[in-house]
Amino acid sequence: MNARRSHVARPVVDLAGRVAVVTGAGGGMGRVLVEDLTRAGAHVVAVARDAPRTERLLRETVGDHGRFEVVEADLSLRHGVVDAATAIGRRHPHVHVLVNNAGAHFPDRGLTPDGVERHVAVDYLAAFGLTHLLRENLVAARGRVVHVASDSLNDTRQVKLLGRARPADLDPAQLDDLTRVNPADGFVAFEAYARAKLLTVTSGYHLARLLRPHGVTVNSVHPGIVATGIVDDLVPAALRPLGWLIRSGMRTPRDGASAALRLATDPALAGVTGRYYRREVVATTPAVSHDPAVQQRLHEVSVRWFAG
């Protein structure tokens, strides 16, 4: 995890005529994803909370040559996800790539106006909802879905110097009602973040099976530890004065984004689906994420979430 590892091969694929949707498009890795996808010739739909700011940032990064449009959406809100999917779906009957990159870590527990814990909303439901609601468009294009997850799901210790890895856990009983996930009782912010990413990967395995017959692939990826905005939220308060030093040992956003970009575009990965990658390497996830009954329950409750 060193900034010197930033010289990662840029994609040499031709995405002319393809549509790629990137969420969190104004963030550290999101901007790079938009830049690289437009450079490869794709028309990019950049989903972001602040359209004018993102438009400005992307204009600087992409220049005048790349083709992109910004769809403004707060993906922590159910109607934000639904409205974004509706707008994208109407404009683009074919969605060839969907990178669910938006994510957040919140230091305290908070609920969205829909009554769900914020990590569940931003780090899980946004990714599930866009994939589910854009299903027809993805099927029409035999598209690729990439969920940007986090290996915190395999180890929720923020400081990993002592002891053993502590994987995120999931109480299947809470899956009857998503407002019960990440309850106030025993709330630990980093565990709540990791649990939401675990939901994303768990659901990703299920969606991969459902969509495989239609030629759509769904994979999840941990990008590494990357010097972006989210890291400032993740560094424990006591270590913040050393933030610059901590950041200097991390991957650059360009390097971080390359793992998701590869899954989204590499011709060698055509047809590869239902996997979780730690960077370029296939990795395991907690047993609960592979339990078909848990996957099914999560799918049903999530479909209901967006139905009503």
Residue 220's beta-bridge partner residues?
A: 147, 276
CA distance 71 to 45: 7
Q: How far is the CB of 102 from ligand NAP (least distance, A)?
A: 4
Q: Of 83 and 291, which has the nearer Cβ to ligand NAP? A: 83
229 lies in the site for ligand NAP, by CB under 6 A = yes
129 lies in the site for ligand NAP, by CB under 6 A = no
Q: Of 11 and 28, which has the nearer Cβ to ligand NAP? A: 28
Which of 149, 136, 116 has its CA nearest to residue 224? Answer: 149
**Two structure tokens written together for 229:** 């905005």
CA distance 283 to 227: 22
Q: How far is the CB of 173 from ligand NAP (least distance, A)?
A: 26
Among 38, 150, 182, 252, binds ligand NAP (CB under 6 A): 150
Among 11, 24, 66, 143, binds ligand NAP (CB under 6 A): 24
Q: Which amino acid, residue 220?
A: S
228 lies in the site for ligand NAP, by CB under 6 A = yes
Whole-Å CA distances, 221 to 43, 47, 259, 276: 23, 19, 7, 6
Residues numbered 48-107 forming contacts with ligand NAP, rule: CB under 6 A: 48-50, 74-76, 101-104
Q: Of 182 and 228, which has the nearer Cβ to ligand NAP? A: 228
196 lies in the site for ligand NAP, by CB under 6 A = no
Residues 6+ apart with CB under 8 A from 138: 95, 98, 131, 145, 211, 214, 216
Q: Which stretch binds ligand NAP (CB under 6 A): 47-55, 167-175, 179-187, 202-210?
A: 47-55
Whole-Å CA distances, 299 to 82, 150, 277, 288, 303: 17, 20, 21, 14, 6
Q: Which stretch binds ligand NAP (CB under 6 A): 46-54, 85-93, 182-190, 270-278?
A: 46-54
Interface residue list for ligand NAP (CB under 6 A)? 24, 26-30, 48-50, 74-76, 101-104, 122, 148, 150, 222-223, 225-226, 228-231
